Each structure stands twice: as C-alpha cells, then as structure tokens.
Amino acid sequence: MFTRIVLAYDGSEGAKLALDRTVEIAAKAQVLVLAVGRIPEYAETVSEVDEAKDQALRHYKTAVDEAVSAFRRVGIAAEGRLDFGKVGDTIVRCAEEFGADLIVVGTNPHTALKRRILGASADKVVDRAHCSVLVVRGGPAG
C-alpha cells in the first residue's frame, strides 16, 4: 500500500472528489495536502509577486485547512502546505521533496481548446512524476 501520499488540492469539485478517493486508500499513509499558488511570470515589480502570494495564501488557506481536518477526522495523519509556481511542476517538485509514493490529482472539465492551449496540470504531473499518479476524474470534458 502507499505510505506517503501527496494530494494536490485547490478546493474545486475535482479536488474534492480526489480528496474522497484519497481517504479511501490512505488509511495507513501520511498525507500532504498541497495547494499551489500561481506567481505572475515575467513580473513588473516585486510587490506584484508578493501580492500574488498573499492572495494565494488567503484563497487557499481555508480550503487546505478543511481538507487536512477531513483526513484527521478519520484518523489519517495529514499536513497542509501552500507552495508557489507552475501547478504541474510544483506538484512534482513537492512530491519529490516529500518522498511521496503516490500523487493524487483531481481534474476539472476543460474545453478541448483550453486543454490544447494551456495544457492540463494533471497531464504534466502524469508525464513528469517520479512516482505513481492517481488522476480522479471530475465532470465531463468539453
């Protein structure tokens, strides 16, 4: 069974489904609930970056805390973390640092066009992760 699991979590419907699946398989595992804040690339000022960080902290703190509580309520050891960067890359990096043997990511529906232009974070994680990846399917794709 998996012993160290990273759950990528942003509070979306897809992420909540991923949380439910993780609870089912993580009975004896240590879980890291990870939210990733986006930093504007090629920034204009340092304060712009700092403000993006502050906004991400405000936005994700409650969601991560709730997810951690959900695990702890059922006796699963869990901790929360907020990191910054490109979502897919950051999930992979944090999973390596955590020594994860499983990454769980939810997906949210994307239109085909958006998926082609922006790519999907779950795709990047599957492509680059050092360990197994469980992709929990959300709503129907466009």
Partner 1 sequence: MEQVWANAVVWVGLALLASIISWRIGVSVALVELLVGIAAGNLAHPQLTEWVDFLAAVGALVLTFLAGAELESATVRRFWKQSLLLGAVGFMAPFGLAWAVAQFVFRWEVHAAQIAGIALSTTSVAVVYAVMVETGLNETPVGKLILAACFVNDLGTVIALGLLYTSFGVTFWLFVTATIAAMVVLPKVTPPLLRRLNSHPSEPEVRFLLLALFAMAFLAVRGGSEGVLPAYLVGMVLADTFLANRDLVKRLRATTFALLTPFYFLRAGSLVSMKAVMGSIGIVLVLFLAKSVAKMGGLFPVGLALRFTRKINIYNTLMMSTGLTFGTISALYGFRNGIITRDQYSVLVVVVIMTAIIPTLIAQTFFEPKGQERQLLFEVKGGK
Contact set with partner 1 (CB under 8 A): 38-51, 53, 84-86, 90, 93, 96-97, 118
- 40: Cα separation from own chain's centroid: 18
Nearest to 107 by CA among 85, 138, 74: 138
* Least spacing, CB of residue 95 vs partner 1, in Å: 13
* Least spacing, CB of residue 49 vs partner 1, in Å: 5
Closest CB to partner 1 among residues 64, 136: 64
Closest CB to partner 1 among residues 56, 135: 56
* Least spacing, CB of residue 84 vs partner 1, in Å: 5
Place of tokens 């999907």: 120
Q: Write b or e for each residue in 20-51: b if 16 or more Cβ atoms lie within 10 A of its Cβ, otherwise e.
A: ebbbeebeebbbbbbbbbebeeeeeeeeeeee
Closest CB to partner 1 among residues 65, 97: 97
